[in-house]
Structure 1
Amino acid sequence: MTVDGSAGRRALVLCGTRGIGLGVARCLARDGHSVTVQGTDPARAAETAGGLPGTGHSSFACDFARPDEVGKRVAETGPYDVMLLNSPGAAAGTVEGLSTEQLRQAVDLMLLSLHSAVEAVLPTMRDNRWGRLVAVTSSSLATPITGLAASSVVRAAVQSYLKLLAESVGRFGITVNHVIPGKIDTDRLRSVEAAGAARAGSDPDAVRTATLAAIPVGRYGTPQDVGELVSFLASDRAAYLTGVGIPCDGGYVRSI
């Protein structure tokens, strides 16, 4: 099935071999995009691309700790019409224990690597007068997460970057938006919950039970839930949406 002209369009999914990135890759492929999956392990990235619905998919590997390498590989494998700006998460920890080096590493992983990838795809998008940049951010934009201090700090910088980028490239038919996942059931979330439970002297299962009670729809989200929203933002149907962050959280975040 193709959606609103997606057939023939090339999509790059950063960090697309597991979790939310994999859910997005599957939805984009289902909707007719030729998807390139980026991962850190070449074999895993190739296996993921080979398992996507449809044809014409590909993969490559690079290290987000080296932002220049990310931009180089994106440029070599492009051009792309759609890009999911997804990044590895920074190490867990509180702000009291956050070192300068840890913060610098988080900036490389979560901001500079995305900027490098954007710089690699923008020239062709400008020439084509069409492009879709969709980022995965975090509910920490509404309320910083105590146990994810480095991530919370850098996500705020990413949000500002995306807003300014949307203002800059909109006249070229390029939209820039971000999805704000809530409690999406991934390996990353489970490890964060386990760490939080350990700090509180609680049980991870008890943490999940309490969290479920706070989600209005009564369940954790799935990577496909996020993928469906990203696929919409990547389509022609979303041409008048830019510069915004859209929650995908089942109502979990209570701020207006």
Structure 2
Amino acid sequence: MSTTYIFPQLSSLFVTSMSVISFTILAVYGFLELREKHLHYSKFWNSGSKTFAVKEIKLSSRTGMLITYTPAFLAAVASFVIYPQEDIRMLLLSSALTIHFLKRILEVLFVHKYSGGMILDSAVIISLSYGVCTASVTYAQSLTKGLPEPSIDLKYLGCLLFILGISGNFYHHCLLSRMRRLQGDKEYKIPKGGLFGIIICPHYLFEIIGFVGLALISQTLYGFSFTTGSALYLIARSYVTRRWYVSKFEDFPKNVKALIPYVL
């Protein structure tokens, strides 16, 4: 039944192992978010944690985020050279990954306004995660060459979801940025506009939609494993974000959910 939606199980120990490892790591980080053991960036900088050790190196948020996204972007670009692009699915996947991380880098440089910093350790951890996952998903895709296609072709639906996800994510990132007219403005406010009136993390919702699009373009076990793990992490992150806003703002609207309108 699985071959209806995904390529036949690959005989690669590396891909199978990475599918399990990627899902597990992302799910664990989601669980740690719920336990208030956060990666140190954004509004959760130093939240719920004790004083940092002197040896930890603090970066500006912009520098930390560039470290986070640049290796994955380079891995996505490299996939055009490393793997033959005769296969349309591989071309679409490499293109989507490149666009995804290029968008993130451009947002870091020209859209986001920052209020805190980022610990070097957190930047390296996230950077390795994105870089390894990007390299793994393209490698897994390259191994499907010559295998029977899934019975139901989802790659074009995946493209539509990817475009919807990346567009909605960008739009809500712009709304967040406009809340801070000046680069030095460090005051947090309750976001407004777009879907912020019904959920506090629409940018995470659209990010999940974009990841689902990538999984449907790929239609490999690794693609679905990474997407599921990422969704679990972002669900936890959105829940903790809502909890943070409720604790900081007495007038936070009770009807505004974390991630899924009217539900969660």
More contact order relative to length (CA 8 Å, sep ≥ 6):
2
> When the two structures are superposed, what TM-score results if normalisation uses the length of structure 2?
0.30
Greater Cα radius of gyration, structure 1 or 2: 2
Q: Name whichever structure is richer in helix by fraction.
A: 2
> When the two structures are superposed, what TM-score results if normalisation uses the length of structure 1?
0.31
